[in-house]
Amino acid sequence: MIYLSMKKTLKKLPESIKLVLFDLDDTLYDEADFVKSGLGAVAEYLAVSHGLDQSAAYKAMIKHFKKQGRGKIFNQTLSEFKINPTAVLIKKLVSLYRRHRPEIKVYQGVRPLLERLKSSGLKLALVTDTNWRVQARKLNALGIAKYFDRIIFTDKLNLKKPDLKIYRQIFKKFMVRPLEVLCVGDDPTCDFIGARTAGCQTIRIRQGRLMDLRLGPAREADYAVKSIKELSDFLRREKILCE
């Protein structure tokens, strides 16, 4: 367990928490699995449409992904196989990537945690950025939408974390005070600064692609854990979860 206010008296979560607000990508599942699943769908298409070896195309895309992230994967892979990366073809591949049926699963312990939170009488919400259709497909593949009382696709609202309007809508919808909301995420660039400014409690799970990213106290969460299991243990000790 990592507490981020090490020089101060350790803070304690208020026992009045009524709502737990989750991020999705790299918080409840490994986003790298979604990327690999999408690249697999693209490789399959290239094998049919351009006669590429499916395994070789997939390995090339994974190589570029590991080197520099998603940026120019398709352009570089096509060039590697002597295929002109036209705007039309790139658009087709991006569409395939976004629209494919993801082969992903939640982190170990996520379902039991969500079930225990619900049985403890807490409300659950999920807030996720980027293309809402893509995020909806992820949720459908993960099979966890049923646990949430509200799912907020910020893309539909023309908003993006850390916009305070997101949190104000949540307070109004659930009729809760900021201190009664606990926000769980992984990304210090956006998951905590808005939530903390709005007055919520925050916990960072150090997992996924950003696990080692440190941006300083202003952007960090109030607390940090290393896994879903540690999060569950923490919430139990803080009496947020029923025994």
Q: What is the pLDDT along the chain (243 residues), one digit of tens a residue?
A: 444 433 333 356 666 899 999 999 999 999 999 999 999 999 999 999 999 999 999 999 999 998 887 779 999 999 999 999 999 999 999 999 999 999 999 999 999 999 999 999 999 999 999 999 999 999 999 999 999 999 999 999 999 999 999 999 999 999 999 999 999 999 999 999 999 999 999 999 999 888 888 888 889 999 999 999 999 999 999 888 876
Quickly list DSSP for 86-120: -HHHHHHHHHHHHHS-----BPTTHHHHHHHHHHT
The CATH number of residue 213's host domain is: 3.40.50.1000
Domain boundary among 44, 75, 99: 99
Give this prediction's pTM: 0.90
**Structure tokens given for 49:** 């449409």
The pairing of strands 223-225 and 2-3 is antiparallel
Residues 86 and 186 in one domain: no
> Does the residue 19 lie in any domain?
yes
Task: Give Cα separations from 24 to 32, 110, 140, 194 (angstroms).
Answer: 13, 11, 12, 16
Does residue 26 sit in the same domain as residue 79?
no
Strand order in the sheet with 181-185: 2-3, 223-225, 201-205, 181-185, 19-22, 123-128, 150-153
Of 70, 99, 128, the domain-final residue: 99
> How many domains does the chain divide into?
2
Let me know if residue 210 belongs to a domain: yes
Domain that holds residue 23: 2-30+105-237
My answer on whether 90 and 113 are in the same domain is: no
Cα-based distances in Å from 8 to 59, 86, 166: 48, 56, 30
Q: Specify the CATH number for the domain of residue 92.
A: 1.10.150
Cβ proximity of 42 and 96 under 8 Å = yes
